[in-house]
């Protein structure tokens, strides 16, 4: 309990000291999946947030491993990929402690990671399940309005986009965006040749996520 209190105090400092440039990180995981996918995505989202939301996020996202104590330096961590994911028992415990202590994890399925992810999340929270968020969730009503919920950015299997969450005492601690592929929409225009309006929707939704987490 004492350790959790100390961690919460650290998070409180990072979240409230306006003179400090926030840092967010990409989660590096084992199992062979491409955790490094969409390399231009997160930097573009940070730039958009700093311009549109007046956040002070460091333009260069860091990389942090699941089991590293450095995970507690970042109030927001992003995870993506296409394939296999594996958390050791120690990594799952470290991630659970991070999330319960005030951290936030956004997982964006870049296509194909969902079955592996669910298996590993059961190690992190064996007593919790992913719950679908309705279109009325505050996440979709931040600076940018998404009355229909999560936008569809890339088409893969013809399925509707879904946003799932894990909660701790009514606090959203983990967001899983599925069949949307926000990260592809954040990338440089020439990577996927998405229309500007599609990229803008992806960036606006990403900004809503950042805004929601930083204000919660």
Q: Can you tell me which residue has the tokens 């700093």?
A: 50
Q: Note whether residue 18 is domain-resident.
A: no
Q: How do strand 76-81 and strand 25-28 relate by DSSP bridges?
A: parallel
Strand partners, 75: none
Dihedral over Cα of 78, 79, 80, 81: its sign: positive
Q: Can you tell me which residue has the tokens 């409230």?
A: 16
Give the Cα separation of 48 and 39 in Å (integer). Answer: 15
- What is the extent of the structural domain holding 148? 24-215
- Residue 16 confidence (pLDDT): 42
How far is residue 141 CA from its own chain's centroid?
Answer: 17
Q: How many domains does the chain have?
A: 1
Strand partners, 108: 80, 177
- At residue 28, the 3 state secondary structure works out as strand
The pTM for the full model equals 0.90
Q: Can you tell me which residue has the tokens 């946003």?
A: 163
- Residue 115 confidence (pLDDT): 95
Q: Note whether residue 11 is domain-resident.
A: no
Q: Note whether residue 2 is domain-resident.
A: no
Q: Note whether residue 198 is domain-resident.
A: yes
Strand partners, 86: 30
Task: Give the CATH number of the domain where residue 148 resides.
Answer: 3.40.50.12140
Determine contact, residues 180/108, Cβ cutoff 8 Å: yes
- Residue 214 confidence (pLDDT): 93
Q: Note whether residue 10 is domain-resident.
A: no
- Residue 188 confidence (pLDDT): 94
- Residue 5 confidence (pLDDT): 38
Instruction: Identify the segments of the chain with pLDDT beneath 50.
Output: 1-10, 12-20
Q: Note whether residue 147 is domain-resident.
A: yes
Give the Cα separation of 57 and 10 in Å (integer). Answer: 17
Give the Cα separation of 172 and 190 in Å (integer). Answer: 34
pLDDT of 116-155, one tens digit each? 999 999 999 999 999 999 999 999 999 999 999 999 998 8
Determine contact, residues 45/204, Cβ cutoff 8 Å: no
Across the chain, which distance is largest between two alpha carbons, in Å? 50
């Amino acid at each position: 309990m004492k350790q959790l209190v100390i961690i919460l105090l650290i998070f409180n400092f990072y979240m409230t000291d306006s003179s400090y440039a926030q840092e967010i990180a990409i989660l590096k995981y084992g199992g062979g999946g491409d955790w490094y996918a969409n390399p231009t995505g997160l930097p573009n989202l940070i730039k958009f947030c700093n311009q549109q939301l007046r956040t002070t996020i460091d333009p260069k996202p860091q990389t942090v491993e699941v089991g590293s104590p450095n995970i507690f330096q970042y109030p927001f961590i992003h995870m993506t990929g296409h394939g296999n994911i594996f958390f050791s028992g120690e990594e799952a415990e470290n991630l659970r402690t991070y999330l319960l202590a005030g951290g936030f994890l956004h997982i964006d399925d870049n296509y194909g990671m969902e079955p592996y992810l669910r298996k590993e999340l059961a190690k992190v929270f064996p007593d919790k399940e992913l719950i679908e968020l309705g279109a009325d969730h505050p996440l979709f009503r931040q600076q940018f309005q998404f009355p229909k919920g999560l936008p569809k950015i890339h088409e893969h299997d013809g399925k509707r986009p879904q946003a799932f969450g894990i909660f701790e005492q009514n606090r959203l601690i983990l967001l899983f965006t599925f069949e949307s592929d926000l990260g592809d929409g954040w990338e440089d225009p020439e990577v996927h040749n998405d229309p500007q309006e599609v990229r803008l929707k992806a960036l606006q939704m990403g900004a809503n996520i950042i805004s929601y987490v930083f204000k919660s």
